[in-house]
Structure 1
Amino acid sequence: MAATEATQAADEAYDVIVLGAGPTGENVADRAHAAGLSAVVVESELVGGECSYWACMPSKALLRPVAARAEARRVPGLKEAADVPLDVPAVLAHRDEFVSYWKDDGQVRWLDSLGIDLVRGHGRLAGPRRVVVDGGRVLTARHAVAVCTGSRAVLPPVPGLAEARPWTSREATSAKTVPGRLVVVGGGVVGVEMATAWRALGSSVTLLVRGDGLLPRMEPFAGHLVAESLAEAGVFLRTGVEVREVRREAPGGPVTVLLDSGDEIVADELLIATGRTPRTEDIGLDTVGLAPGSWLDVDDSLRVTGVTGGWLYGVGDVNRRALLTHQGKYQARIAGAAISARARGVPILESDRWGAHAATADRLAVPQVVFTDPEAASVGLTAAAAEQAGYRTRVIDQDLSAVAGASLYADGYRGRARMVVDLDREVLLGATFVGSGIAELLHSATVAVAGEVPLERLWHAVPSYPTISEVWLRLLEAYRG
């Protein structure tokens, strides 16, 4: 049977049933199928999921021209030519192309090429190893059901907010026109990236943050440098404020945001980027003894705890371990290996923390890039998190502008690098970089953290000259003294 939508009414049995055809679900099915198991994917929206159509791909398509122009403005011989407004229709058309015009034909063809079945509709658990899809189709799993339904933006309980129909990340990445005035609530990744993009596309942007800084999950200096750049770009940033009420008198009309300070801000659109909730509220969790709408607690093999028989897996955003597409795909590889091993009766070595069946990187080596100007990237533990975890640490900071490669990259380069060292083992616990062009620098740090590479061995990993990567040499020199 191909990945086209089948319509049989009879119950069907598969080795693995996957709920959700985002990157996580696709990869669970792919890994299970590669191990010789039959797999079916159930999806009620577009195959490819949030990342392909409303998150990673469209947001980065919007941000790439912004970064390219900003970098060109800092390069002699280009700065004058680059000092022009962005071609908004071209940027939005580029975004539309990267999301395949919100059509999933290509993703369906990929599933079809693998021999993985696709069932369109909303799937719900109906007891152990059983899934019922809208229309009455019933699927049973011989070995595993993997819940890969992801997460969605959640609106805080602010009076008038829901009625005002604000943007969430979906609307912010798919909007067809540029709002004249945009208020963004939230200082996390979505908030700062969308403030960056829409300001560059012509919006007057106000960014409201409840805390005292941006990017709270990263080292504090990351948020400080991004905040400086946003202010220079013309974003009006207010920290330490909360939204008390929202009013919108007519659909499509202006929206008024009332703050706890008593101030009022009037805008054309309001983006709420303050958190996410699992898409588990209507998938039949109650039929297997779990609370509807809850995050799924899982072990390191991604198997849901508290479910008799060990057949249910929660992979990707639904387990709240690391709400990132690349971590969901990583978890999918681990879950696929664990499902196939258990199906063959192969023991799972849970004590092997870096083995094929343990998603250890979720706890110790999560990489993330924020595509603002400057970019911010981190992996592993921050200095504060490492201290809280009980490690004996040393923190090494380096001004990236002092590196020859950074000076060549752009005039007036601003950036900073930090590594957090476990003094007892002399390995990296974490690293953070902020600056232009540092996104591709992160994987070397990820290898060092996940591989627990001794610093004495890193000393022999010679960075090419003149590149921004030479910051590694400067960090190690500072550590050695």
Structure 2
Amino acid sequence: MTEAEQYDVVVLGAGPAGENIADRTCAAGLTTAVVESELVGGECSYWACVPSKALLRPALARADARRVPGLAAAVRGPLDPEAVFAHRDYWTGHWKDDGQLDWLASIGAHFHRGHGRLDGPRRVAVTSAEGEHHVLTARHAVVVATGSRAVVPDLPGLAGARPWTSREATSARQVPPRLLIVGGSVVAAEMATAWQALGSRVTVLVRGDRLLPRMEPFAGELVAEALREAGAEIRTGVSVQAVVRDGHTGPVTAVLENGETVEGDELLMATGRSPRTEDIGLETVGLAPGDWIPVDDTLRSAAHDWLYAVGDVNHRALLTHQGKYQARIAGAAIAARFAGTAGKAGTAGTGGDGALDTARWSPHVATADTAALPQVVFTDPEAAAVGPTLDAAERAGHRVRAVDYDLGKVTGAGLYADGYRGRARMLVDLDRGTLLGATFVGPGAAELLHAATIAVAGEVPVDRLWHAVPSFPAMSEIWLRLLETYRDSEG
């Protein structure tokens, strides 16, 4: 083992969150090392957001085109899977991270390829694929940004059936004639949309009563309705108890709780995520391996003032854009906390009396993780939401009013697609007179979301929203209709 290398900050994990925090700390003049055992860019770039959207875009574009007069007849044919896969492969960089490595170098970060583990306070031990070992020490902060991985439940026969997880679902090179999907999550809904469009006969087995259980009920209902119309089978209230595969490449059979069986050619388990912390040395700093890492709003660990955790691993919001946001917040907090101490050992700057000076860095807090959390599900129709659902808001004790409107009745939506089907809901906090949340479901609805996110994050009074005039005949006219409906409901 070589002599320990010293840096101001060591980042464990080079996904979007790890990249963003390295960018901020390097920009602040803090020497920063980044450790990654796989590809720089992480899950999102190679096995999640980017490849899934590359697979979905042709499906959604074809669905939109089929609703446009004069164009529908021209797009009745099937998708070209090879062309779709080539499009996906381009956007994943063919699963090579050369460009991301160049970017890390350009910001001044020091990259270490290998498996990193905490090795006591402010120490990270790195083991390369070739078995070489070295230790990195952090003068100020270690940031854990190792993300999450797909959960594969311990069902009889499942391991031997070689199920797909989200990684295989976004990187497969052949279209399975029949695809079984277990779960009702975002991954389940998006991959059902993509693979049904690519030619698979999709069956979705949902233990709960609907798809997309974390969104407003009408979101899952509209998505399920569209999937059924496209030829997929959506079965709710069913539980898989065992899995059987015929040989190495034969059909796979899911055995349900009632004894019924469902057969497919591949099986995708879309049943949740778990933190990638089981082998990163948490036990060396008094934390439990395999657990999420609790943090405060500056993304600092509750256990150690030098330890930060950003992205999925802290379990605040398992969304790439939120992980990047957290990284920007944590990077700013670390930079402010250790301003002027680059290359110097010790903790944060202190005041004249030796007390820890938090005034500079405590304002950097990740409020959007709870107050204005946006998410888009890229199904057909798209489902986009910010803030809590009506049920969640009421359970949290808010006095709210839900305002609904048929999105298809907006002129811009009707021009967007013949027979447009969709729905919008805004939640008004009656005590504060501001928007608490909003949900939009329909083709192209994702582009409506950021306006709602701004209104929620900015706590814009509903009375002021009347003066944000939507352009006609854009789909954003939905805002006027929601406000009119809210006014009329006041009686």
The answer to whether the superposition gives a TM-score over 0.5 is yes
Which residue of 1 is the match for residue 224 of structure 2?
227
Give the structure-2-normalised TM-score. Answer: 0.94
Q: For residues 29-73 of structure 1, what are the alpha-carbon distances to aligned partners after superposition, in whole Å with 9 as ceiling and x for unaligned?
A: 101111111111000000000000000000000000000000000
How far, CA to CA, are the matches of 2:322 and 2:230 in structure 1?
Answer: 32
The secondary structure found in structure 1 opposite 2:117 is strand
Which residue of 1 is the match for residue 185 of structure 2?
188
Which residue of 1 is the match for residue 450 of structure 2?
443
1:254 aligns with 2:251: yes
Matched AA of 2:82: P
Give the structure-1-normalised TM-score. Answer: 0.96
Residue 286 of structure 1 and its aligned partner are, at CA, apart by: 0.3
Aligned ranges for residues 89-104 of structure 1 at < 5 Å? 89-104=82-97
Which residue of 1 is the match for residue 412 of structure 2?
405
Q: For residues 238-265 of structure 1, what are the alpha-carbon distances to aligned partners after superposition, in whole Å with 9 as ceiling and x for unaligned?
A: 0000001101132222111100121111
Number of residue pairs matched? 469
Residue 132 of structure 1 and its aligned partner are, at CA, apart by: 0.5
How far, CA to CA, are the matches of 1:306 and 1:59 in structure 2?
Answer: 36
1:320 aligns with 2:327: no
How far, CA to CA, are the matches of 1:88 and 1:136 in structure 2?
Answer: 43
Which residue, 1, 9, 24 being the options, matches 1:16?
9
How far, CA to CA, are the matches of 2:369 and 2:247 in structure 1?
Answer: 44
Which residue of 1 is the match for residue 145 of structure 2?
148
Residue 97 of structure 1 and its aligned partner are, at CA, apart by: 0.6
How far, CA to CA, are the matches of 1:329 and 1:59 in structure 2?
Answer: 19
Aligned ranges for residues 45-444 of structure 1 at < 5 Å? 45-134=38-127, 135-307=132-304, 310-344=305-339, 345=349, 347-348=357-358, 355=363, 357-444=364-451
Which residue of 2 is the match for residue 4 of structure 1?
none
The secondary structure found in structure 1 opposite 2:316 is coil
Residue 348 of structure 1 and its aligned partner are, at CA, apart by: 3.9
Residue 350 of structure 1 and its aligned partner are, at CA, apart by: 10
How far, CA to CA, are the matches of 1:350 and 1:429 in structure 2?
Answer: 30
Matched AA of 1:323: L
Matched AA of 1:251: H
The secondary structure found in structure 2 opposite 1:89 is helix
Matched AA of 2:277: T
Residue 9 of structure 1 and its aligned partner are, at CA, apart by: 2.8
Matched AA of 2:247: A
How far, CA to CA, are the matches of 2:24 and 2:105 in structure 1?
Answer: 15
Q: Conserved in 2, the CA contact under 8 Å of 1:42 and 1:119?
A: yes
The secondary structure found in structure 2 opposite 1:290 is coil
The secondary structure found in structure 2 opposite 1:469 is helix
Which residue of 1 is the match for residue 343 of structure 2?
none
Residue 349 of structure 1 and its aligned partner are, at CA, apart by: 5.5
Matched AA of 1:330: Y
Q: Conserved in 2, the CA contact under 8 Å of 1:27 and 1:332?
A: yes
Q: For residues 192-228 of structure 1, what are the alpha-carbon distances to aligned partners after superposition, in whole Å with 9 as ceiling and x for unaligned?
A: 0000100000001100000000100000000000010
Q: Conserved in 1, the CA contact under 8 Å of 2:426 and 2:439?
A: yes
* Structure 1: unaligned runs, 5 residues or longer: 1-7
Q: Conserved in 1, the CA contact under 8 Å of 2:333 and 2:361?
A: no
How far, CA to CA, are the matches of 1:266 and 1:104 in structure 2?
Answer: 37
The secondary structure found in structure 2 opposite 1:397 is strand
Q: Conserved in 1, the CA contact under 8 Å of 2:337 and 2:361?
A: no
Matched AA of 2:145: C
Matched AA of 1:107: Q
How far, CA to CA, are the matches of 2:445 and 2:476 in structure 1?
Answer: 9
The secondary structure found in structure 2 opposite 1:107 is helix
Q: For residues 377-434 of structure 1, what are the alpha-carbon distances to aligned partners after superposition, in whole Å with 9 as ceiling and x for unaligned?
A: 0001111111111111111001001100000000000000000110011111100000
How far, CA to CA, are the matches of 2:27 and 2:391 in structure 1?
Answer: 41
Residue 351 of structure 1 and its aligned partner are, at CA, apart by: 11
How far, CA to CA, are the matches of 2:296 and 2:250 in structure 1?
Answer: 48
Greater mean deviation of Cα atoms: 259-268 or 37-46: 259-268
How far, CA to CA, are the matches of 1:349 and 1:234 in structure 2?
Answer: 58
Q: For residues 458-478 of structure 1, what are the alpha-carbon distances to aligned partners after superposition, in whole Å with 9 as ceiling and x for unaligned?
A: 111110000110000111111
Q: For residues 293-328 of structure 1, what are the alpha-carbon distances to aligned partners after superposition, in whole Å with 9 as ceiling and x for unaligned?
A: 100010000011123xx0000110001110000000
Q: Percent identity?
A: 70
How far, CA to CA, are the matches of 1:21 and 1:351 in structure 2?
Answer: 24
How far, CA to CA, are the matches of 1:212 and 1:304 in structure 2?
Answer: 36
Q: Conserved in 1, the CA contact under 8 Å of 2:336 and 2:360?
A: no
How far, CA to CA, are the matches of 1:351 and 1:129 in structure 2?
Answer: 20
Q: Conserved in 2, the CA contact under 8 Å of 1:396 and 1:478?
A: yes
How far, CA to CA, are the matches of 1:83 and 1:163 in structure 2?
Answer: 39
RMSD between aligned residues: 1.3
Which residue, 466, 473, 478 being the options, matches 1:459?
466
Residue 136 of structure 1 and its aligned partner are, at CA, apart by: 1.6
How far, CA to CA, are the matches of 1:114 and 1:351 in structure 2?
Answer: 23
How far, CA to CA, are the matches of 1:76 and 1:136 in structure 2?
Answer: 63
Q: Conserved in 1, the CA contact under 8 Å of 2:336 and 2:361?
A: no
The secondary structure found in structure 2 opposite 1:425 is coil
Q: Conserved in 1, the CA contact under 8 Å of 2:334 and 2:361?
A: no
Which residue of 1 is the match for residue 346 of structure 2?
none
How far, CA to CA, are the matches of 2:320 and 2:34 in structure 1?
Answer: 18
How far, CA to CA, are the matches of 2:470 and 2:394 in structure 1?
Answer: 29
The secondary structure found in structure 2 opposite 1:138 is strand
How far, CA to CA, are the matches of 1:146 and 1:471 in structure 2?
Answer: 42
How far, CA to CA, are the matches of 2:303 and 2:122 in structure 1?
Answer: 15
Q: Conserved in 1, the CA contact under 8 Å of 2:427 and 2:438?
A: yes
